[in-house]
Amino acid sequence: MLQAFDVNAVLHCGDIGSGSIVPLFASWPTHFVLGNVDHQLPEIERAVLAAGQTFHGRFGEIELVGVKIALLHGDEPSRFEQATTSGQWNLVCYGHTHTAEHHFEGHTMVLNPGALYRAARHTVAIVTLPSLEVTLAEV
């Protein structure tokens, strides 16, 4: 699916499920954060690191083409609110609700790409940087 887009990196917003999911992202540099269903923490972390990908635990901070990005699952209300309202980030990516949506909080784009599992619609979000143009793609 992602091969159809010019994807330079993947941000996985949690609920990875198991380490067996990690190899599916081998074609792209991928950043992973943990979600509330990621109970197999040591297995998931080992799989991410063994694949040469980036493991951020519960919260990731990255910068791509000058865009400051926070990456979290979104199931911790105070951490989510701080990330979305602090003005520290250009883009905050989260998961948890499994429902695609995006909006601005001040100058911060808040984005949920949706989910590929346990969701009514299976979606991913393609974000063009640095313009923050969002395309939601159903898969």
pLDDT 10s digits, 73-116:
999 999 999 999 999 999 999 999 999 999 999 999 999 999 88
What pLDDT does 1 receive?
Answer: 66
Q: How many CB atoms lie within 10 A of CB 124?
A: 19
- Nearest Cα neighbor of 94 from 44, 65, 56, 49 is 56
Q: 2-138: what fold?
A: Purple Acid Phosphatase; chain A, domain 2 (3.60.21)
Residue 33 has pLDDT above 70, yes or no: yes
Examine the pLDDT at 17 and tell me if it is beyond 70: yes
Give the 3-state secondary structure of the chain.
CHHHCCCCCEEECCCCCCHHHHHHHCCCCEEECCCCCCCCHHHHHHHHHHCCCEECCCEEEEEECCEEEEEECCCCHHHHHHHHHCCCCCEEECCCCCCCEEEEECCEEEEECCECCCCCCEEEEEEECCCCEEEEEEC
What is the residue extent of each domain of the chain? 2-138
pTM for the full model?
Answer: 0.94
CB 25 within 8 A of CB 1: no
